[in-house]
Amino acid sequence: MPSSYATAQDRIRDYFDTVGFEKWQRFARGEAQNRIQASIVAGREQAMATLLAWGGNWRGRTVLDAGCGTGAFARRLVAAGAIVTGVDISAREIEAAREHVPEAVFRQADFYAVAETFDVIVCLDSLIYYAEDDLVQLLQHLVRHTRAALYFTFTPRTLFFEVMHAVGKLFPKGNTSPAIARIKAKRLYARIAKETDWRPVRTTHISSSFYQTTLVELRPDGDVSAQAASAVARR
Ligand SMILES: C[S@@+](CC[C@H](N)C(=O)[O-])C[C@H]1O[C@@H](n2cnc3c(N)ncnc32)[C@H](O)[C@@H]1O
């Protein structure tokens, strides 16, 4: 495990076990305390609805919610008929997820501890803290444990984010949340295609003011349903 990964991991665990816990509990309930949080809640609703629609029929499929947090998306997956396992590095998030979604199975674990295989893996806003090299390595690991599709989000390096970052608006004083990595989309897609046997077949950018995220569907190379999804994406 590279040292950059271990450093990010420690920061993330500490944050989601403490101040981040309260904040993400509120997000899971759709609550916002200010304009920035309202845009995040709205953007996340859009991301979750898109992801559910892309997945099609979830009934009976085994799904790993990797970095499940308090179970906001796991709850929707269960309602759609999926058989859900959730893992998260934060003990506190896992405790809350068990309470919120008793139908799913949750355990405290790092992504690299995932050993079993699922039909689908979902990483909703859980890989956003990892820089490009760590992100590609994580995806290499996770696709080895997925049969059909892997969905993840990342924050693209856009002019908006660069400007906001430069003026410090995204990171107001007192904000202790782990830094979000800003990733060059084209380079990431090229590396995924080259360094895994999977490839992005569908992507969409979700823009809700301060919530700027790109949702990606990965499928194994040569997958016929992937080609269909790709054709849909090009329309
Ligand atoms: C921004 S929250 C999103 C939670 C949930 N996916 C959602 O959308 O509501 C990111 C979550 O990813 C988890 N996470 C980040 N890195 C992780 C790792 N290496 N292993 C397991 N969980 C991780 C964090 O603990 C946190 O709960």
Q: What CATH number does the domain containing 77 carry?
A: 3.40.50.150
With respect to residue 16, please indicate whether it lies within any of the assigned structural domains: yes
Q: Whose CA is nearest to atom 10 of ligand 1?
A: 126
Q: Whose CA is nearest to atom 8 of ligand 1?
A: 124
What mean pLDDT comes out for the span 38-52?
A: 96
How far is ligand 1, taken at its centre, from the CA of residue 50, in Å? Answer: 19
Residue type, 90: S
What is the percentage of the chain residues whose pLDDT exceeds 70? 90
Q: Does the pLDDT at position 171 exceed 70?
A: no
Instruction: Note down the domain range covering 56.
Output: 3-224
CB of 71 shorter than 6 A to ligand 1: no
With respect to residue 185, please indicate whether it lies within any of the assigned structural domains: yes
CB of 153 shorter than 6 A to ligand 1: no
How far is ligand 1, taken at its centre, from the CA of residue 88, in Å? Answer: 6
1, 70, 77, 89: residue to mutate for ligand 1 pocket, most atoms within 8 A of CB: 89
With respect to residue 89, please indicate whether it lies within any of the assigned structural domains: yes
Contact 111, 67 (CB under 8 A): yes
Q: Does the pLDDT at position 158 exceed 90?
A: no
pTM of the model: 0.92
Least confident of 26-35, 154-163, 184-193, 223-232: 223-232
CB of 134 shorter than 6 A to ligand 1: no
Q: Domain count for the chain, please give it.
A: 1
How far is ligand 1, taken at its centre, from the CA of residue 18, in Å? Answer: 13
Least confident of 15-29, 80-94, 111-125, 140-154: 15-29
With respect to residue 231, please indicate whether it lies within any of the assigned structural domains: no
Atom of ligand 1 nearest to the CA of 48: 8
How far is ligand 1, taken at its centre, from the CA of residue 158, in Å? Answer: 23
With respect to residue 230, please indicate whether it lies within any of the assigned structural domains: no
Specify the pLDDT at position 231.
Answer: 58
Name the band, by pLDDT with cuts 50, 70 and 90, for residue 147: very high
d(CA 180, CA 155): 7
With respect to residue 205, please indicate whether it lies within any of the assigned structural domains: yes
